[in-house]
Amino acid sequence: MSTTMIGGREVHVDEEGFLTQYDEWDEDLAKQLAALIGVDLTDRHWTAIRFLRRDYRSQGETATLRRAAQLCGIPIKELFQLFPKKPAKKMAYIAGLPKPHGCV
C-alpha cells in the first residue's frame, strides 16, 4: 500500500488518493484534504463530514449521498452546493474514507 504526504504528514492512500487508514485522519488533516480539492470548509461541511465519520465507524462502509442526506439533515441539493459536482466522493475524501460503493 502506498503513502503520500499531506500537510507534512505521511498517510496511507489507495491508487486514487483516498485515505485507507481510518485512524490516520483528524480534523486538521481534513482541512488540508479539503484545500487540496478546492473546498472551503464551513460548519455545514463539518456537519456532513463528522456524520460520515461516525456512520462509517458504525456501519463499516461509507454512506451514500442519499443516506448522508437522510441522516445528517442536509438536503441533497445543498450537499451538491457544498461539495460541487461529485458530492459523495468529495465528502468521503475529506472525511478520510473510501468512496461509497452503494448505487443509490
Partner 1 sequence: MTTTAETAPARVPSFDDESTIGRKLAIICSKGNLDMAYPGLVLANAALGEGVETHLFFTFWGFDIITKARMDGLKFTVLGNTATHLPQGLGGLPGMTAMATHMMKNQIADVGVPEVPEFLDQIVASGGHLWGCRMSADMMHLSLEDLYDGVEDIISAADFIEKTDGAQLLFI
Contact footprint for partner 1 (CB under 8 A):
2, 4-6, 8, 10, 13, 16-18, 36-37, 64-67, 75-77, 80, 84-90, 93, 102-104
Cell of 28: 486538521
Could you identify the residue written with the cell 489507495? 14
CB of 72 to partner 1, least distance (A): 15
CB of 8 to partner 1, least distance (A): 7
The active-site residue out of 1, 5, 103, 104 is 103
Nearer to partner 1, 22 or 59 (CB): 59
Annotated active-site residue 72? The verdict is no
Nearer to partner 1, 7 or 22 (CB): 7
What's the chain look like in SS3?
CEEEEECCEEEEECCCCCECCHHHCCHHHHHHHHHHCCCCCCHHHHHHHHHHHHHHHHHCCCCCHHHHHHHHCCCHHHHHHHCCCCHHHHHHHHCCCCCCCCCC
CB of 89 to partner 1, least distance (A): 7
| Active site members | 103
